[in-house]
Structure 1
Amino acid sequence: MSQEIINLLEAIEDELRNQNVWAQMPPSIEALSSTTPFCMDTMHFSQWLQWIFIPRVRAILDAGGSLPTGSDMKSYAEEALPMERLSSQKLLNLIEKFDQLMN
């Protein structure tokens, strides 16, 4: 399963790059320190995917840890991605696959 998750993370990254929202510079320390789900008060969902979600999941896998069970990112992504004016269907499909693996 870990290879499937790695493949999904790479596909999410590729799609963010394809949509030109993959940033070279990280958000501020304050933005990254948000305790609100998906850091919705300090950054866009695409930023959260790049700077929080992808690195954390990779770190867990690299450390041989167990990923949390129960994921429902798609519900938020369905609202957040259109607000960023992103072409969301491919990203939503990838996020849905991740949710399914975690449930």
Structure 2
Amino acid sequence: MVEQRILDIADHLLLIEHELRAQGWWSEQPPSAEALASVTPFAVDVMGFEQWLQWIFLPRMKLILEHGHPLPNASGILVMAETVFVDRPEQSRVLRRLLAEFDQLIGPSA
């Protein structure tokens, strides 16, 4: 039986994707292979945070869930979101809340 936490995380990934689309931050055009291969945290050297969420974070998390790989021990994604969206607090409110909830789901106390 699939653990409830995994289902909750999967639901949150869908909600994050939905909010990216709702805000118009979803792109049909993927970044270059070089950009996708970035080893810089959040790929800040080659793409925006919204792109990183869409093209790196969501696919990696889906693979982890689908293949039953161990979940990350922690997620500091909200801290990055707070920094990136400092000039768009209202527009990013829902996304930041979803990312905060994701951090809680991934955290060691979950």
Query: TM-score if structure 2 supplies the norm length?
Result: 0.87
- The higher-RCO structure (CA 8 Å, 6+ apart) is 2
Tell me the alpha carbon deviations over residues 71-102 of structure 1, each in whole angstroms, 9 at most, x when there is no partner.
11111111113467881110100000111111
Please, which runs of 5 or more residues in structure 2 have no aligned partner?
none
Residue in 1 aligned with 2:71? 67
Q: Percent identity?
A: 45
Q: Which runs of 4+ in 1 moved over 6 A?
A: none
* Equivalent residues, number: 103
2:26 corresponds in structure 1 to: 22
Moved more, 26-35 or 86-95: 86-95
Match of 1:98 in 2: 102
RMSD (CA atoms): 1.6
Greater share of helix residues, 1 or 2?
1
Alignment of 1:24-103 (within 5 A): 24-82=28-86, 87-103=91-107
When Rg is computed on C-alpha atoms for both structures, the one with the higher figure is 2
Distance in structure 2 (CA, Å) of the matches to 1:8 and 1:69? 17
TM-score, normalising length: structure 1:
0.93
Residue by residue, what CA displacement relative to the aligned partner does 1:35-67 show, whole Å, maximum 9, x if unpaired? 110001110100000000000000011001111
